[in-house]
C-alpha cells in the first residue's frame, strides 16, 4: 500500500556492465577479437561456394563465378603439395604444371556430381540420355586402361622409348590417372541411377548403340589376340593407343544423343549445366597442360604420343559449346 512516500527505482546497469560483472566469460567473448569471427565467416563462405555446384541447376553467373574460383584455389593448393613430374626439366614449371593438372582434375571430377545430386533430388533420370550414360561408362573403361598402363607399366614405357627415342617421355601424369579412375567410378553411379530410378525398360539402350558397343568389345578382343600371337607386328603400345582412339570416338558418339534429346524436348531440364561448365573448364586446362608440357620438354611427341588427352580436350570443348548454347541461348529456362 502506498502511504505517499515516493518509491525509489533502481536504474538498471548498462548491459555491458551486467555482463562484465555477472559473467566474466561472456565479457571475454564480447571482447574477443573480430579477427576470428572474420576467419570463421570467410571459411563458411568458401565452404558454401564449394558445394554450390552440387545444388545449382540453373548455372547462374554468380554461382559459376564463385564455384569456379573455389575450384581453382583448391586445385592449385593440391598441385602445390602433390609430387611434381620430375621428367619436366624446368623446376618452376613443374609446380605450374602440377597446379594446372590438379585444377583440371578437380574440375573434371567435380563435374560428375551435380548430375548425381540432381538425379537424387528429382528421384528420376528423365532428361538424361541412357545412350549417353552407358557409352560414357564404356569410354572411361578404355581411358582408365590407357592412362594406368602408360603411367605404371614398365613394358609399355620401354615400347614407348623404342618408338619415339630413348629420351622420349610420355606426358601421362598422376592427375590423369586419378581422374580416369574417379570418372570410371562416377560414370558407373550414373548407370546405376538410371537402373534405380527409371530403369532400362522405360529408357532402353538404342539398337545402334548396342551394336556399337559390341563392335568396340569385339575389336579390342580381336586386337589383343593378334598381339598375343604376334600377328601383324603390333605391340601392346598399339593396343593402348587403340583404347585411346575408342575413347575419343565414344566421347564424340556419346554427346550426340544428349544434343538430340535436348533438341527434341526443346529443353535442358533434367540435365545439369554444371556438368558442362566444369567439363569445358577441365578440357581447356587439360589441353593447356599438354601443350605447355611438350614445350618445356622441347618434344612434341608428348602431344602425338598422348592422342587420347589431346582428342578428349578438343572434342570436350567442341560439344560443351553446343550444350551451353542450348542451355543459355536456344532453350533458356523461364
Whether the predicted pLDDT of 51 surpasses 50: yes
Q: Report the chain's mean pLDDT, rounded to a whole number.
A: 81
CB proximity list for 253: less than 8 A, separation 6 or greater:
135, 209, 212
pLDDT at residue 237 in the model: 92
Q: Which of 265, 272, 126 is nearest to 194 (CA)?
A: 126
pLDDT at residue 190 in the model: 93
Which pLDDT band, with edges at 50, 70 and 90, does 60 fall under?
Answer: confident
pLDDT at residue 36 in the model: 65
Which pLDDT band, with edges at 50, 70 and 90, does 39 fall under?
Answer: low
pLDDT at residue 27 in the model: 47
pLDDT at residue 121 in the model: 85
Which pLDDT band, with edges at 50, 70 and 90, does 146 fall under?
Answer: very high
Which pLDDT band, with edges at 50, 70 and 90, does 17 fall under?
Answer: very low
Whether the predicted pLDDT of 14 surpasses 60: no
Which pLDDT band, with edges at 50, 70 and 90, does 43 fall under?
Answer: low
5, 8, 9, 10 from 1: Cα distances, Å? 10, 15, 16, 19
Mean pLDDT of 303-328: 84
pTM for this prediction: 0.70
- Cα separation, 75 vs 68, in Å, equals 10
Q: Which of 16-25, 45-54, 129-138, 305-314 has the lowest mean pLDDT?
A: 16-25
pLDDT at residue 21 in the model: 46
DSSP calls for 265-320:
HT--TTS-HHHHHHHHHHHHHHHHHHHHHHHHHT-THHHHT-HHHHHHHHHHHHHH
Sign of CA dihedral 157, 158, 163, 168: positive
Whether the predicted pLDDT of 8 surpasses 70: no
97-126: per-residue pLDDT in tens?
999 988 988 888 888 888 888 888 888 888
Could you give the percent of the chain with pLDDT greater than 90?
27
pLDDT at residue 25 in the model: 46
With H, G, I as helix, E, B as strand and everything else as coil, classify residue 331: coil
Q: Which of 70-74, 143-147, 306-310, 325-329 has the lowest mean pLDDT?
A: 306-310
Amino acid at each position: 500500500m502506498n502511504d505517499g512516500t515516493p518509491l525509489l527505482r533502481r536504474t538498471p546497469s548498462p548491459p555491458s556492465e551486467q555482463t562484465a560483472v555477472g559473467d566474466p566469460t561472456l565479457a571475454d567473448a564480447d571482447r574477443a577479437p573480430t579477427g576470428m569471427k572474420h576467419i570463421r565467416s570467410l571459411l563458411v563462405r568458401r565452404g558454401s561456394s564449394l558445394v554450390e555446384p552440387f545444388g545449382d541447376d540453373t548455372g547462374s553467373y554468380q554461382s559459376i563465378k564463385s564455384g569456379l574460383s573455389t575450384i581453382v584455389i583448391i586445385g592449385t593448393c593440391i598441385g602445390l603439395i602433390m609430387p611434381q613430374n620430375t621428367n619436366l626439366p624446368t623446376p618452376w614449371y613443374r609446380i605450374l604444371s602440377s597446379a594446372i593438372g590438379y585444377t583440371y582434375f578437380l574440375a573434371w571430377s567435380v563435374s560428375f556430381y551435380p548430375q548425381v545430386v540432381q538425379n537424387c533430388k528429382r528421384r528420376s533420370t528423365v532428361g538424361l540420355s541412357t545412350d549417353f550414360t552407358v557409352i560414357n561408362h564404356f569410354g572411361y573403361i578404355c581411358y582408365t586402361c590407357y592412362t594406368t598402363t602408360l603411367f605404371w607399366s614398365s613394358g609399355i614405357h620401354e615400347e614407348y622409348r623404342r618408338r619415339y627415342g630413348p629420351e622420349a617421355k610420355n606426358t601421362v601424369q598422376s592427375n590423369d590417372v586419378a581422374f580416369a579412375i574417379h570418372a570410371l567410378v562416377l560414370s558407373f553411379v550414373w548407370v546405376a541411377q538410371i537402373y534405380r530410378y527409371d530403369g532400362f525398360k522405360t529408357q532402353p539402350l538404342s539398337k545402334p548403340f548396342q551394336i556399337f558397343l559390341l563392335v568396340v568389345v569385339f575389336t579390342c578382343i580381336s586386337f589383343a589376340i593378334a598381339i598375343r600371337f604376334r600377328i601383324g607386328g603390333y605391340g601392346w603400345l598399339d593396343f593402348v593407343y587403340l583404347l585411346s582412339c575408342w575413347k575419343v570416338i565414344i566421347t564424340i558418339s556419346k554427346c550426340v544423343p544428349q544434343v538430340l534429346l535436348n533438341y527434341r524436348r526443346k529443353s535442358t531440364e533434367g540435365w545439369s549445366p554444371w556438368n558442362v561448365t566444369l567439363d569445358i573448364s577441365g578440357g581447356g586446362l587439360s589441353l593447356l597442360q599438354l601443350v605447355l608440357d611438350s614445350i618445356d620438354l622441347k618434344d612434341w611427341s608428348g602431344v602425338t604420343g598422348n592422342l587420347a588427352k589431346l582428342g578428349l580436350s578438343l572434342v570436350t570443348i567442341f560439344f560443351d559449346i553446343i550444350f551451353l548454347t542450348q542451355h543459355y541461348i536456344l532453350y533458356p529456362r523461364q
